[in-house]
Amino acid sequence: MRRHRSRRHRRTTPRRWYCLALIVAATTFAAACGLQAGSSLPFTMNPGSIQHNDNLTGVTLTVGSKEFTEQVLLGYILAFSLQAAGAEIRDLTSIVGSQSTRAAQLSGQVQLTYEYTGNGWINYLGHEKPLPDPMEQFKAVRDADVAENNIDWVALAPMDNTYALAASKAVVERTGVRTLSQYAELAKTTPAQAKTCVDTEFNVRRDGFPGMAQAYGLDPATVFRSVLQTGIIYNATASGTECLFGEVYTTDGRIKGLDLVLLTDNRSFFPHYNPAVTLSTDLARQHPEIEQIMTPVSQALTNDEVMELNRRIDVDGEDIAAVARDWLVNKGFVAAG
């Protein structure tokens, strides 16, 4: 699903130079990859509970996303919903990396994306400490992004694709570990029974393993860890050999597909990554119907719903656009063209 978690690269440059770098990156990326054009959507959607809106007739909107499964899925859900309402949609899903996607939006090449609140707060706005309440985190990132970048956040979804540790059912039953506090205690007392697999980024990030270890009173240097590619970690954790515990993302379909058990973050360390639709403040003022259309769609995007959609794509091998279309049709939001 994700070869790397590009959406979680933490900003380290001063903010004004960071913004300049994003603009330059947008220009360079567009020139190299043809971002200006986009493409038409693979399917045509007709109105369902999303009714045709005269204010969107003839309006061309470019929808973007990052390149990993869930982001492309959310991009198509956004694009098909607005197409059913009457907008002409240009498809710029699958842009490589958070920074390129953000740069494309700041430059106006992408007008709408689904973005994660924790990513916006930490990565784009440069804050070190996330807010523990999901709604307060949403309000904070929205208000700050409007003030600093004229980017509005609307239609928050309840799904929360954050970091977690997971284990197989056999490991959970053998060790009795179901929470991160219990994991930390096991790592202290019996390190060999807490062998853990993480990817490169999670291994060093402040909101990754080192920060988690500190929050749970654990010295990260004492934990037996293997650094693997993200995709390998899921299968290795399910086998329970090299990885007794593994880093995962909480809406990944492979959790269900491989019957993994998520450890409870009982001290609420990990940031919230709830997706919301992001768009310029000008576009939000010109077309308030976008928020009205997308709010009920976003509200239907729960962890269980999105995990199952991700599973169909990453485990069963179904087409991302078709999965997005079928979900919208089954929910009654749209009718297939």
Q: Which residues of 174-211 are buried (b: 16+ CB within 10 A; e: fewer)?
A: ebebbebbbbbbbbeeeeeebbbbbbebbbebebbbbb
Non-local (6+) Cβ contacts of 73 within 8 A are 306, 309, 310, 313, 320, 323, 324
By CB atoms closer than 10 A (0-12, 13-18, 19+), residue 130 is: buried
Could you tell me which of 3, 69, 72, 10 has the C-alpha nearest to residue 234?
3
Q: Are 134 and 117 in contact (CB under 8 A)?
A: yes
Residues of the chain with pLDDT under 50: 1-34
Q: Which residue has the tokens 């393993």?
A: 209
Could you tell me which of 69, 68, 98 has the C-alpha nearest to residue 7?
98
Task: Using alpha carbons, list the distances in angstroms from residue 248 to 210, 257, 295.
Answer: 16, 13, 28
- What the block records as the tokens of 10 is 């933490």
Q: Which CATH superfamily is domain 163-262 in?
A: Osmoprotection protein (prox); domain 2 (3.40.190.120)
Could you tell me which of 188, 177, 250 has the C-alpha nearest to residue 216?
188
**pLDDT computed for residue 183 by the predictor:** 98
Candidates 3.40.190.10, 3.40.50.9100, 1.25.40.10, 1.10.287.70; CATH matching 6-160+274-336:
3.40.190.10
- Delimit the CATH 3.40.190.10 region(s) of the chain: 6-160+274-336
**pLDDT computed for residue 231 by the predictor:** 83
- Delimit the CATH 3.40.190.120 region(s) of the chain: 163-262
d(CA 38, CA 33): 10
